[in-house]
Amino acid sequence: MPSLSEEIDMAEPPRLTVTAMGHKRSGKTTFLLGMYAELSAGKEGYFLSATNTDIDLRLASRWEKLLDDGVLPPPNPNSEINYTFQFLDGLLPLLDVDWLDYRGGAINEEREGGEADVGGVLDRLVASDSIYLVIDGRYLAEPITARNRMGVIRAAGLRRMTNLLQDTIRRRGRDLAPPSLVILITKADLIPRERREPMDGLINDLQQIISVAFTGGFTTLICPVMLGDFGADPGPTVEAEDIEPHNLHLPLVYSLAMYMDQLSIAAGVAAGLQRERAGQLASMRKGLTRGVGSVFRRGQASKASREADQAADELETFMAVQEVAAHRAKQLFGELSGLSLFRDGNEVQL
């Protein structure tokens, strides 16, 4: 997350950096297309708009091809693709979203000697505000057991994701809060309904195969999503009538909620420090303007007065940011009812 001083500069919207990592054909690109289609049309009063008109038209064209002809978007085979979106509440811009789509194989290649985007993905994770761990729903269709656990971890690329998350935290250091996490379960139509509703068994399985997401420091949302009821291996085309988007907008709503929550906390800390400083400056000004010799301290008193006024103004700004961000976070978290959220490994009530 950028510094608080950058966040309160309302001349430019704040920027949320999101990185989705998953194995080959886990559904990252298809999820992005469905999420954009849902939010660009508007969902619960929220909107997502590509800042580049050509990108908007390209994504819209692919969505229309899916609706008209059942053609699924091809996976990203070559290099990383960056998208910049604007997230809005009605007509009010809330923040820009910097989204990275990259080859699924990138996370499984060595940094040295691999494709050009491999090192970029690793560096990107360190700079991310929110990280999506994308898991193909086919691997969760059956309960995880001692017999199939390691096979699922290998097939879904979860050992490598665990290592990358650990490396990300190590490289970010102690001063930077961990990114928010989403366990994004794509192709949720492949998971029997009784395993999705309620999700107790599914959560227990996830804790066995991606346990790092449930450790101290992380706040993790579990979000099954689906574009439609397409079956395990639909091929390049599907039946258009089987398209039934579900939950596609919620991961981004969560990422924004966490972003606003962190901003509120940072603003609260800054307000506390500024309140203390404002009090000290006010006392200093009072002392300089009273008593014998005050006439000789006019220059100092004038400077202290300006600094005290500036500190009071900054305190007011921090308090306003805290209030607005906290209200926005609460509002956004309210959209996530029915999903499971874990903080430091413990489930919290949404």
Render pLDDT for 27-72 as a digit per residue (tens, 0 to 9).
888 899 999 999 999 988 889 999 999 999 999 999 999 999 989 8
pLDDT confidence of residue 295: 42
Residue-by-residue DSSP string for 217-282: T-EEEEEE-EEE---S--TTB--GGGEEEESTTHHHHHHHHHHHHHHHHHHHHHHHHHHHHHHHHH
pLDDT confidence of residue 196: 85
Predicted confidence (pLDDT) per residue in 275-286, tens digit: 887 677 666 556
82 beta partners:
100
- How many other CB atoms sit within 10 Å of the CB of residue 240? 13
Q: Please identify every stretch of the chain with a pLDDT value under 50, giving residue numbers as ranges.
A: 2-11, 113-114, 116, 292-297
Residue with tokens 């300006």: 306
Rounded Cα gap, residues 195 and 189, in angstroms: 11
pTM (2 decimals)? 0.85
Domain 4-261's class? alpha beta
Rounded Cα gap, residues 49 and 41, in angstroms: 9
Enumerate the domain spans of the chain: 4-261, 264-335
pLDDT confidence of residue 31: 93
Rounded Cα gap, residues 342 and 340, in angstroms: 7
pLDDT confidence of residue 43: 87
